[in-house]
């Protein structure tokens, strides 16, 4: 677990009355790893790491058995393997995770329309309107957990509380595979023993600033005058953290938060200076981004390319199109132009990325056909590829240049 996720279990016997607790935070347990273990039951109970196995790979997920060795998401794979050499490393299957994520979110929406996904594996729910039909919040949380396990073979932990902040901390408190209620009148009892780093807005720099004031727990923060916090952290940040220390968080569950951008990037196993290889990766990333745009019902006008050198300096270039697009061929054409204009063509590159911004609902803007262009073209072909991918897997249909020969694979 990361520093921000470490929520020790308070000694008091919190739990019980959920009458003032309409907010749920549902968080899948070691999500990617759990999805993989459905097909590998022999690995259940053993350390498993999900991530690219190469020297540049990073950890995407790890079972709790691996986490006991200090392995956590975003850690370099080389370090994870040193910490836990006996772990089984499984390359990620993103299409599989997306499919389970969609199914889980649909389960949430059968209980309430007030669902705010904040990642592929977690969401806030407001069950205020569901109580008359389904019962108290804790009962709804239990039903959600049962359905997720029964229909998808993975587990989730659910926190039940009066606010988003406390619900999220409650779900972390009961991981893995748990349910925990923080009654509205026990919020302070729950929060004050916790380390101050669990609060939203407390990064490493803020934590160091608070430590200089002798503030190490949420309780210490609550007992510090607001004026002192504002002098140290700034007026807005000081007031924000002072309110959170007393459990005051009035943010509402906001369903259907629109995506601001959609992108994908890839770190090469070894630095690459071959323009042909880099363009092939730009094509692969353009295909992935376009598929995600179509899946979400989006089209975008601004295309950007990210290029990272071996010394980790990063260069970005972007172009805004006359019309929004969700077609990989169009994204790839722009990405290649941006790469050519970057000044790095032929230079060593460590990472490449493609991103689309200025998103609109697909079809919101009329599309002008070019002279001589057929009405049925690349967009329809790529949608046919989407249908094949959903049925047979993402690699079932690929552009010819992405199909590697046997000698390349070896």
Binding residues: 27, 121
Block residue for tokens 């993402």: 394
Number of C-beta neighbours around residue 299 at 10 A: 25
Q: Which of 122, 281, 287, 330 is the catalytic position? A: 122
Do 138 and 32 touch, CB atoms closer than 8 A? no
**Which residue ranges are tagged as binding site for Mg(2+)?**
27, 121
Residue 126 phi/psi, 5-degree rounding, is -110, 115
The whole-angstrom separation of Cα 59 and Cα 206 is 26
DSSP-assigned beta bridge partners for residue 48 = 88
Closest CA to 199 of 2, 5, 1, 12: 5
CA distance 378 to 88: 41
DSSP run (H or E) holding 356:
strand 349-361
Tokens for 242, please give them.
């002072």
Neighbours of 163 (CB within 10 A): 21
**Is 410 an active-site residue?**
no
- Residues annotated as catalytic (active site), given as ranges: 122
């Amino acid at each position: 677990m990361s520093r921000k996720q470490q929520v020790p279990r308070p000694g008091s016997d919190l739990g019980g009355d959920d009458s003032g607790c309409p907010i749920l935070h549902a968080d899948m347990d070691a999500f990617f790893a759990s999805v993989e273990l459905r097909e590998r039951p022999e690995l259940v109970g053993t350390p498993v790491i999900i991530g690219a196995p190469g020297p540049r790979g990073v950890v995407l997920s790890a079972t709790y058995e691996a986490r006991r060795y200090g392995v956590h998401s975003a850690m370099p794979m080389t370090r994870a393997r040193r910490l836990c050499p006996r772990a089984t490393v499984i390359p990620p299957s993103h299409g599989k995770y997306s499919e389970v994520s969609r199914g889980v979110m649909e389960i949430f929406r059968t209980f309430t329309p007030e669902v705010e996904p904040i990642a592929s594996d977690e969401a806030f729910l407001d069950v205020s309107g569901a109580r008359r039909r389904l019962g108290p919040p804790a009962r709804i949380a239990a039903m959600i957990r049962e359905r997720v396990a029964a229909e998808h073979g993975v587990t989730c932990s659910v926190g039940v509380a009066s606010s988003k902040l406390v619900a999220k901390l409650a779900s972390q408190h009961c991981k893995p595979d748990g349910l925990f209620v923080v009654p509205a009148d026990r919020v302070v009892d729950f929060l004050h023993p916790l380390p101050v780093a669990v609060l939203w807005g407390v990064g490493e720099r803020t934590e160091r600033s608070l430590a200089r004031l002798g503030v190490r727990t949420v309780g210490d923060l609550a007992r510090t005058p607001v004026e002192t916090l504002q002098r140290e952290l700034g007026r807005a940040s000081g007031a924000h953290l002072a309110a959170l220390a007393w459990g005051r968080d009035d943010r509402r569950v906001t369903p259907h938060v629109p995506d601001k951008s959609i992108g994908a990037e890839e770190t090469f196993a070894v630095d690459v200076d071959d323009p042909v290889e880099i363009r092939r990766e730009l094509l692969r990333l353009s295909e992935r981004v376009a598929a995600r745009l179509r899946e979400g019902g989006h089209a975008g006008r601004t295309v950007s390319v990210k290029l990272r050198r071996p010394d980790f300096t990063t260069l970005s270039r972007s172009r805004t199109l006359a019309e929004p697009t969700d077609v990989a061929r169009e994204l790839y054409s722009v990405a290649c132009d941006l790469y050519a204009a970057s000044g790095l063509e032929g230079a060593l590159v460590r990472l490449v990325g493609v991103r689309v911004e200025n998103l609109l609902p697909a079809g919101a803007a009329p599309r002008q056909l070019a002279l001589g262009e057929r009405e049925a073209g690349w967009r329809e072909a790529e949608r046919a590829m989407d249908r094949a991918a959903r049925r047979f897997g993402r690699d079932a249909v690929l552009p010819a240049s992405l199909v590697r020969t046997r000698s390349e694979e070896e």
